[in-house]
Chains A and B, each alone.
Chain A
Amino acid sequence: MPSKALNTHRKPGSVAKRQPEGGALPSVEAATLRLNGSKGLVASCDPAAVAAFLDYDGPVLAGPQEYRKPA
């Protein structure tokens, strides 16, 4: 069985059907503005709540625990 994470329900090489800005590719200028106005993920959270996240020193891992090549 192929890994769930690597399954594709879309024709390989095609681009996602929905493009965020009127059917065109996302605009670099608009993205720059959005990023310039962003504090980032951690800074936008409650400082007390993120302390544990920032202090975490354990393993960094997310994804399928097994990996198998697609058939």
Chain B
Amino acid sequence: MPGKHHAEARYRELRALAHRKAASLLPSDPHVRIRDIDCGALEAFAATWAGHPVRAVAWPWPEIAQRFRRNYPERFEAAIWSGEWLCGLAIGRPNNAGDMVALHFLEGCPDVGHPLKGSVHQAALEALFAYALAISATRIRINDPLPGAVRLYVALGFRLEIPKSGGSYCEKEI
């Protein structure tokens, strides 16, 4: 079994590959960057998102990122930027079997004037898809999708599942 530090470095490299691939697939914003949720992303979150009046949730991204980072070297994470503007944050992880990668949290910038308006979904899902390919997973999943966005995921070939145990998710074979 590989050590945690070795695993951390390897999965960081795989995420970077997936981030680059996803960024290359996005329509024509030369300033788009996808990176891990690093200190810069968390600083931008604190400065521009955290107290935003129209923010729909109160997810504490620093705490969420720290918890995933501590527990899951193989996690998926993405900070989606246009220049210096933080436009999206996403985090998730593979299941224990390693054959499915789930997006647990996805949030777009609450300021509707951000430069990737309309492209954050695509950036996040392309990054998730690419990361799943990179680690040889065969399924991707979006946990607790916004009901109004389910039709979009279905259009991409996801199916909606509503387990009796609660919650819902959209899943797609890749």
* Chain A residues in the interface with B (C-beta under 8 A): 4-6, 8-10, 12-21, 23-26, 28, 30-32, 34-35, 38, 40-43, 45, 49-50, 52-65, 67, 69
A18 touches B96 (CB 8 A): yes
* Chain B residues in the interface with A (C-beta under 8 A): 1-2, 4, 6-7, 10-11, 13-14, 17-18, 21-22, 25, 56-60, 63-64, 67, 70-71, 73-74, 88, 94-99, 103-108, 117-118, 120-122, 124-126, 128-130, 133-137, 142-146, 148-149, 151-153, 155-157, 166-167, 174
B25 touches A62 (CB 8 A): no
- By a CB distance below 8 angstroms, the chain B residues around A31 are 14, 17, 133-135
12 contacts between A and B (CB under 8 A): A12-B71, A15-B73, A24-B2, A26-B10, A31-B14, A31-B135, A42-B156, A57-B118, A60-B149, A62-B146, A63-B105, A64-B144
Q: Known contacts A40-B130, A45-B156; is A28 also within 8 Å of B97 by CB?
A: no
Do most interface residues of chain A lie in helix, strand or loop, or is the interface mixed?
Answer: loop
B98 touches A32 (CB 8 A): no
Chain B residue nearest to A15 (CB atoms) is B7
B130 touches A49 (CB 8 A): no
Bound-complex Cα distance A13 to B64 (A): 15
A28 touches B96 (CB 8 A): no
* Choice from B14, B134, B149 contacting A62 with Cβ under 8 Å: B149
- By a CB distance below 8 angstroms, the chain B residues around A35 are 17-18, 21, 130, 133-134
- By a CB distance below 8 angstroms, the chain B residues around A4 are 166-167
- By a CB distance below 8 angstroms, the chain A residues around B103 are 62-63
Bound-complex Cα distance A25 to B98 (A): 11
* Choice from B98, B122, B128, B135 contacting A42 with Cβ under 8 Å: B122
